[in-house]
Amino acid sequence: MAFIGIVGFSGRGKSSLAESLTATYVRSGLRVGFLKHTHHEKPVTSAGDTSRLLAAGASEAWLAGNGWAIRYTEGSSELHEPMTLEKLRRVVQGEVVIIEGFKTAASWPCLAVVRDMTELEKIQANVSAVITEVPIELALPRFRPSDVEAIAEFALTIAR
């Protein structure tokens, strides 16, 4: 199982990138699982990002909050409590698992979606590449958000 993290601040395009990567991997024949961190209360139904990722081809989409997680598949959902991040990493299924969020807890390789260097400096995850429209000088690889095929290929090389 390959874990690929996507981190960044709200409104930066993390979910759009996750959706594009999911569709790319599914088209190439890989089974994709999705896990998203939230600070919100438990939702009653699958809506928003989990629905988008399922529509893009993810076999399951998990939404995880403080001590709980909900597993969504086409037409069903299951609440899991208590739930820890390490336990989630063991139960999410897929040849590729895309993990969105956890910008201060991610130990797996991550793609940081940022607008500027200040945002990048605030992310405490294991950043392996930067996704941005802004030309930032770094030692890390940098991709434009529209370079989905290149990002997908790179992400598989760093996934673990």
Whether residue 71 has pLDDT greater than 70: yes
- Hunting for tokens 């939702």 — which residue is that? 43
Q: How many domains does the chain have?
A: 1
Token pair in block for residue 70: 């909900």
SS3 content of the chain, % helix, strand, coil (to 5): 30, 30, 45
End-to-end CA distance of the chain: 7
Domain of 41, in residue numbers: 2-158
Strand extents, DSSP E, 44-125: 60-64, 69-73, 76-80, 96-100, 109-113
Q: The whole model's pTM is what?
A: 0.92
pLDDT band at 46 (very low <50, low <70, confident <90, very high): low
Domain containing residue 151: CATH number:
3.40.50.300
pLDDT band at 27 (very low <50, low <70, confident <90, very high): very high
pLDDT, mean of residues 60-82: 91
- Tell which residue, 91, 98, 111, has the closest CA to residue 24: 98
pLDDT, mean of residues 153-160: 94
Cα–Cα distance for residue pair 20/131, rounded to 1 Å: 13
Whether residue 39 has pLDDT greater than 80: no
Whether residue 115 has pLDDT greater than 70: yes
